[in-house]
């Protein structure tokens, strides 16, 4: 509880600082004043309107979206690693991100779902994620059972297949717009964050966190193996199916608004386990907060390091995640299949 309270305080400070930093630097005190004015309906002077709009309309939804996606990716990573009993698994091992990318690029090239206006691309990404999840489930299930190994192998195969489809779409695209879109959906960005998209993501991620926390004991048992889990009173296949649906829905929502962001769901669970242990109730309480803090600072780096240009989030998470992952593998060999 103390750890969670401390992390929550760090997260709040990180959010305020990140909102204030950018091309126009605003002190934390001024940032807090503008945020309070927005939340309480307070008045601001005419000279402050431009700064207020930067804070409230542009940066705040972006930073909050970064925190939500970071929390969601970390929690989903914890669940998938237990569900498939594979320490190398992450939220995109099931091919969901590749399916979402195909949906987004397909809508961009064909102009489909035009009736949804500015939400057409996000809706296409979400539908692509759901289709990918359904295909993985159908291909990996055998007599109603879901094998962890089959899930991983099928997810990897589907991911490669969707990447091939995406390449074909880009190859036959009439212009270069699809090329920029595929960079967005494969490397990630919060540049399109709006207040309109935030409620759906917030509800999906927060509900997902609550449900996963309730699955804490089941995840502990699934991580021990199907035979052990069955002997201790749970149905591994039924729980794995329920988790697959939950993981696919939450991941689809996140990818639809941010694109695919690598390494967060892979590395964060391991870092948290090193501190709080392997009990999933503890890990699922801490990992979302750590992931949220990490993603807020990654997003800040992406929009300030090469300003006025914006670095893809996946570049930064990979530069951080790869060396951290290698260090974890060397120090915690047992987590990766033994020394």
174's CB contacts (< 8 A; 6+ apart) are: 109
Whether 149 is covered by a domain: the verdict is yes
DSSP letter string over 198-217? HHHHHHHHHHHHHHHHHTHH
Mean pLDDT confidence for 184-194: 81
The domain in which residue 234 lies consists of 63-336
Per-residue pLDDT band for 337 (boundaries 50, 70, 90) equals very low
Residue 47 counted as domain residue: no
Query: How many Å apart are CA 249 and CA 253, to the nearest integer?
Result: 6
Q: For residue 145, what are the β-bridge partners?
A: 142
CA dihedral (204, 270, 98, 140) positive or negative: negative
Average per-residue pLDDT for the chain: 85
Domain presence at residue 43: no
Residue 53: pLDDT over 80:
yes
Q: What angle do CA 77, 78, 80 make, to 5 degrees?
A: 65
Residue 197 domain-assigned (yes or no): yes
Chain-centroid distance, C-alpha 299: 13
292/139 Cα distance (integer angstroms) = 33
- Please report the DSSP string for 150-194 in residue order: HHHHHHHHHHHHHHHHHHHHHHT-SSTHHHHHHHHHHH---TT--
Q: Closest Cα to residue 291, out of 77, 74, 76?
A: 74
pTM comes to 0.90
Whether 225 is covered by a domain: the verdict is: yes
CB 3 within 8 A of CB 286: yes
Residue 234: HSE in the Cβ half-sphere, 13 Å Cα cutoff: 21
| Residues in contact with 250: Cβ distance below 8 Å, sequence separation at least 6, in sequence order | 72, 76, 204, 205, 208
Confidence of residue 334 (pLDDT cuts 50, 70, 90): very low
Largest separation between any pair of C-alpha atoms in the chain: 68
Reported confidence tier of residue 175, pLDDT bands at 50, 70, 90 = low
The rounded Cα 137 to chain-centroid distance in angstroms is: 21
pLDDT at 336 over 50: no
pLDDT score, position 86: 80
Residue with tokens 């309309």: 57
- H-type alpha helices, the chain: 2-20, 28-40, 49-53, 60-83, 96-110, 120-140, 148-171, 177-187, 198-214, 216-222, 226-231, 236-258, 264-276, 280-304, 313-331
Length of the chain: 339
Identify whether 276 is part of a domain.
yes
Based on the structure, what is the number of domains in the chain?
1
Residue 32 inside a domain? The answer is no
pLDDT digits (tens, 9 = 90+) for 12-23: 999 999 999 988
d(CA 49, CA 242): 48
pLDDT tens-digit map of 80-92: 988 888 877 887 7
Q: How confident is the model at residue 205 (pLDDT cuts 50, 70, 90)?
A: very high
Q: 82: closest CA among 160, 151, 154, 157?
A: 151
Please report whether residue 210 resides in a domain: yes
Q: What are phi and psi of 141, to 5 degrees?
A: -80, 145
CA atoms of 54 and 143, how far apart (whole Å) = 55
CATH of the domain at 235: 1.10.3470.10
């Amino acid at each position: 509880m103390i750890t969670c309270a401390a992390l929550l305080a760090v997260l709040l400070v990180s959010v305020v600082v990140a909102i204030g930093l950018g091309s126009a630097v605003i002190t934390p005190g001024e940032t807090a004043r503008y945020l309070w004015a927005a939340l309480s309906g307070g008045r601001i002077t005419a000279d402050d309107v431009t700064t207020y709009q930067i804070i409230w309309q542009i940066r705040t939804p972006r930073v909050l979206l970064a925190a939500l996606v970071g929390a969601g990716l970390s929690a989903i990573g914890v669940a998938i690693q237990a569900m498939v009993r594979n320490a190398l698994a992450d939220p995109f091992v099931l091919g969901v991100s590749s399916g979402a990318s195909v949906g987004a690029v397909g809508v961009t090239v064909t102009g489909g779902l035009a009736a949804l206006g500015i939400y057409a691309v996000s809706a296409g990404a979400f539908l692509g994620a759901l289709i990918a999840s359904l295909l993985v489930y159908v291909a990996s299930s055998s007599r109603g059972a879901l094998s962890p190994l089959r899930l991983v192998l099928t997810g990897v195969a589907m991911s490669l297949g969707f990447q091939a489809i995406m390449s074909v779409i880009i190859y036959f695209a009439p212009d270069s717009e699809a090329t920029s879109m595929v960079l967005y959906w494969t490397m990630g960005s919060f540049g399109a964050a709006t207040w309109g998209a935030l409620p759906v993501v917030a509800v999906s991620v927060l509900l997902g966190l609550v449900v996963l926390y309730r699955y804490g004991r089941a995840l502990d048992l699934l991580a021990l193996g199907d035979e052990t889990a069955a002997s201790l009173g749970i149905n591994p296949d039924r729980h794995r199916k329920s988790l697959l649906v939950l993981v696919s829905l939450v991941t689809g929502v996140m990818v639809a608004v941010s694109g695919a962001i690598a390494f967060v769901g892979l590395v964060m669970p391991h870092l948290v386990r090193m501190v709080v242990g392997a009990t999933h109730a503890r890990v699922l309480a801490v990992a979302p907060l750590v992931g949220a803090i990490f993603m807020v600072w990654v997003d800040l780096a992406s929009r300030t390091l090469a300003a006025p240009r914006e670095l893809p989030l996946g570049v930064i998470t990979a530069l951080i995640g790869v060396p951290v992952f290698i260090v974890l593998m060397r120090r915690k060999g047992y987590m990766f299949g033994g020394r």
